[in-house]
Amino acid sequence: MVKVGGLGDVAGSLPSALRMLPGHLLEGRSLDVRLVIPYHGENPRKLLDPQPVASFLVNHLSGPIPTRAFVTYVDDLPVYMIEGAPIGTEAPVYTGDNYLDGLKYAFFSLAAVELARHLNWQPDVLHANDWHTALAVFHLARQRLSRDPFFAQTRSVLSIHNLPFMGAGAERALDEFAIRPVRDLRLPKWARQFPLPLGLLAADRIVAVSPTYAREILTPEFGCGLQDFLNSRSAAISGILNGLDQKSWDPTRDGALVSRFGIDSLELREENKKSLLAEFDLPYDPQIPLLILISRMDQQKGIDLALASLAQMADRPWQAILLGTGDPIIESACRSLQAEFPDRVRAAIRFDTRLSRQMYAGGDVLLMPSRYEPCGLAQMIGMRYGCVPLARSTGGLRDTIFEGAPDRPNNGFLFDEVKTEALNAALTRCLDRFADRKAWRQLQLNGMQQDFSWEKSAIQYANLYFDLWENQR
Ligand code: ADP
């Protein structure tokens, strides 16, 4: 298998989790997983001692681009790194300019597929992620269409982490790599030269990062204009939740915490709340729930709903700490809430992982009122740290948070409609429950006991790969 993709967590965690799957889960089958990434920056060169394995040319309008590939091993996982002018060594991973990013990722995607040929290693499955590497899937399909025997048996999987990001603006870059608009009538005209739709057209299987998101993208509300096309491919679409790096996010070992704690020592958790409140100059009272929000400040995240709801629920006891950066309008709305409620709201407008860890460990409730949420990590981290999520029932939130589900113990609070009233109702239930210490503790434990391991995701991906390999040829 070859896995192409730059999405930090998935690209980093899934291949290792796949490699570490115990034999009994694979029913005697084995996986040879290899990762291909762009060669960014000087750091990997020093740290990983990559060895050259191939050099070849990738065609471009202005002439063939010399391309070099290196290999290094991370815990036995072969990681191939691709170097070439469009990737650059000093440039940021994402430039924010989709023409430049388009050049970089189109080049990378084509080179990743060609690398397999130059290694003379025929993958059974190529797995790519998001618009950045979707063109690898598209390029592979072109090779198969041209009856290239090398790739005749190779199947493809494309994971969707965030459908709205389709790579719009990369069309000129695609032209330069001779990737012209397709004529397929299933795709809306505007999408026929966007990297993600091209990959979705070509992929043998499409995976959304949660089962609920896999269903949602078939609807006008979440389909971003591709819903009719995606419905035409619905037999190929499934959903697999991302895992959480449970080593990094472990409250029993987290060095950022004032007081480490676990399922058997939940009483130690409260020290984190005391210290967090002290740091923000807010009073500590065990009867008052501390609500936290840790998020990119983006319209997607529904932060406006949370702010409106808090203001409307001012007659109830709560405190709130908001951490995030992004859209200046949302940032300033958070600051305004602090100005309105200086005795109980703090807005920390920055990116601060250490503070986020202290907040997950010290907050009582994590607010996550997302308009859409393909998978969502924050709620998983919150639950692992005993911080009970209150979230909109969408995407991965709906698949990991349960309130009143017939077959799952409660571990949080959910609301459906994108309306402040709906959030108010959930917050009311939440604040009422907080007053019942025993019931609250059970909610925390239910969340802390949930299995968010990458192994759980990896076995589903492995089954998908085997299914493709065994049944689709
Ligand atoms: P998304 O990927 O859409 O931003 P997720 O919930 O999947 O949302 O992941 C967000 C991750 O980023 C979480 O680990 C969260 O803790 C972290 N994060 C978001 N904003 C901040 C911030 N301002 N400071 C530190 N960590 C943050």
pLDDT of amino acid 22: 86
Which helix (H) or strand (E) covers residue 400, if one does?
helix 395-400
Strands (E), 227-306: 237-239, 290-297
Q: Which of 352, 333, 329 is nearest to 341 (CA)?
A: 333
Ligand 1, from 295, 352, 371: best to mutate by most atoms within 8 Å of Cβ?
295
Q: Is the pLDDT of residue 262 over 60?
A: yes
Counting atoms of ligand 1 from 1, which one is nearest the CA of 375?
A: 7
- Is there an atom of ligand 1 within 6 Å of 232 CB? no
Mean pLDDT across 293-298? 97
User: How far does the centroid of ligand 1 lie from the alpha carbon of residue 295, in Å?
Assistant: 5
pLDDT of amino acid 6: 36
Q: Is the pLDDT of residue 279 over 80?
A: yes
- Is there an atom of ligand 1 within 6 Å of 396 CB? no
pLDDT of amino acid 472: 62
Q: Is the pLDDT of residue 29 over 80?
A: yes
| pLDDT confidence tier of residue 263, bands split at 50, 70 and 90 | very high
Share of the chain above pLDDT 90, in %: 86
Q: Which of 88-92, 366-370, 424-428 shows the lowest mean pLDDT across its residues?
A: 88-92
Residue 188 vs residue 13, higher pLDDT: 188
Q: Which of 455, 367, 383 is nearest to 415 (CA)?
A: 367
- Is there an atom of ligand 1 within 6 Å of 209 CB? no
pLDDT of amino acid 28: 81
Q: Which of 87-101, 203-217, 296-310, 363-377 shows the lowest mean pLDDT across its residues?
A: 87-101
Parts of the chain belonging to CATH 3.40.50.2000 = 5-243+454-472, 263-448
pLDDT of amino acid 9: 59
Q: Are 302 and 422 in contact (CB under 8 A)?
A: no
Share of the chain above pLDDT 70, in %: 94
Superfamily (CATH H level) for 263-448: Glycogen Phosphorylase B; (3.40.50.2000)
Counting atoms of ligand 1 from 1, which one is nearest the CA of 162?
A: 3
What is the per-residue pLDDT across 237-246, written as a single tens digit (0 to 9) for each? 999 999 999 9
Residue 42 tokens, joined: 């000087």
Render 164-189 in DSSP notation, one character per residue. Answer: T---TT-HHHHHHTT-PPP--TTS-G
| pLDDT confidence tier of residue 473, bands split at 50, 70 and 90 | low
pLDDT of amino acid 8: 56
Mean pLDDT across 300-328? 98
**Is this model's pTM higher than 0.85 or not?**
yes
Instruction: State the maximum Cα–Cα separation within the chain, in Å, rounded to a whole number.
Output: 70
Mean pLDDT in the chain? 93
Residue 258 vs residue 13, higher pLDDT: 258
Q: Is the pLDDT of residue 259 over 90?
A: yes
- Is there an atom of ligand 1 within 6 Å of 325 CB? yes
Mean pLDDT across 138-148? 92
What is the per-residue pLDDT across 398-415, written as a single tens digit (0 to 9) for each? 999 999 999 999 999 999
pLDDT of amino acid 42: 61
Contacts of 440 (CB under 8 A, 6+ apart): 364, 388, 433, 434
Tell me the CATH class for 5-243+454-472.
alpha beta
pLDDT of amino acid 39: 87
- Is there an atom of ligand 1 within 6 Å of 324 CB? yes
Q: Is the pLDDT of residue 4 over 60?
A: no
Ligand 1, from 356, 358, 366, 452: best to mutate by most atoms within 8 Å of Cβ?
356
| pLDDT confidence tier of residue 5, bands split at 50, 70 and 90 | very low
The values of phi and psi at residue 134, to 5°, are: -60, -30
What is the per-residue pLDDT across 418-468, written as a single tens digit (0 to 9) for each? 999 999 999 999 999 999 999 999 999 999 999 999 999 999 999 999 999
